[in-house]
Amino acid sequence: MVPHLSAPSDAAVVEHLRIKVPVEARAIWLEAEQGSWEPWLAQQDGFLGRDLLWDATTEEGTLLIRWESRAQWKAIPQGDVNKVQDQFERLAREGTGLASGNPFPLVFEGELLPQ
């Protein structure tokens, strides 16, 4: 068994998220990302970039968000993250026509250590 290892606070880290993205809503997901997370992340201290990937078999989006250090990533106030998430969900609902909730729910959340 491999022990659980977390990144030292000064080490680079990749935030790893998977969300449910049905095939018919893929373009809406990308538009909501561009209108919320993309510009906000670009302004965050320590943000290095991100990759948005989509798996047609599972109909899931994978987000790999690269941070200069775990400390910089975790220093972002949760309230700020919640505001951007609310904006993302609002844009996603507008695009999908849903009246409430998150059209693209989180399936997995974790972090990866560059080797």
Residue 51, beta-bridge partner list:
64
**Residues 43-61 pLDDT 10s:** 999 999 999 999 999 999 9
Task: Check residue 10 and give its pLDDT.
Answer: 84
d(CA 25, CA 3): 38
pLDDT over 50 at 2, yes or no: no
Q: Which amino acid type is present at position 54?
A: W
Half-sphere exposure (Cβ direction) of 106: Cα atoms closer than 13 Å: 8
Instruction: Tell me the mean pLDDT in the region 33-37.
Output: 98
Ordered domains of the chain (ranges, CATH): 17-112 (3.30.70.100)
**Residues 61-95 pLDDT 10s:** 999 999 999 999 999 999 999 999 999 999 999 99
Task: Check residue 49 and give its pLDDT.
Answer: 98
